[in-house]
Amino acid sequence: MPHDQHQHAPAVELNHTAVYASDRHLSAEFLAAVLGLEVGAPFGPFLPLDLGNGVTLDFYEKRDEPIQPQHYAFLVPDDRFDAMIARLDAVGVTHYADPGHTEPGRINHLFGGRGAYFDAPDGHNMEIMTRPYVRP
């Protein structure tokens, strides 16, 4: 199909994704607490966490095999970033300036914003950032 025929097609958006967890309640509540959000009511086997842009993280309990850690990055308001770091500190979860977790207790200043990485209960590498990445 020629490129110009796509111009009037609706935008493609991520609607939801499953986040595997050994304990869906623990994982969903942990992330909700850090981000200052509320966990939704169970939807079948899923425990949803609705984000501000219409995307839902559906926490799904998976106990038959090890959880393969994934990376999830959240664009957060600058005026809520410090509170998120404080909540991580309050529960004893170390944040890092880098995705490889070699700079503990520090944040980064990528693209003129602030960012940090931390581990969720099942080892998912979470990222909070106040500015989106700028790609060439």
pLDDT per position as a tens digit, 34-91: 999 999 999 999 999 999 999 999 999 998 999 999 999 999 999 999 999 999 999 9
What's the CA angle centered on 55, arms 51 and 56, to 5 degrees?
A: 75
> Which pLDDT belongs to residue 136?
85
DSSP-derived letter for residue 55 is: -
Q: Does domain 11-129 have CATH number 3.90.850.10?
A: no
Does 5 have pLDDT greater than 80? no
Angle at 19 between CA 16 and CA 24, to 5 degrees: 120
Q: Determine the pLDDT at residue 6.
A: 55
pTM: predicted TM-score of the whole model, two decimal places: 0.90
Query: Which element (helix H / strand E) includes 90?
Result: helix 78-90
Q: Is the pLDDT of residue 1 over 60?
A: no
Tens digits of per-residue pLDDT, 85-111? 999 999 999 999 999 999 999 999 999
Q: Is 67 helix (H, G, I), strand (E, B) or coil?
A: coil
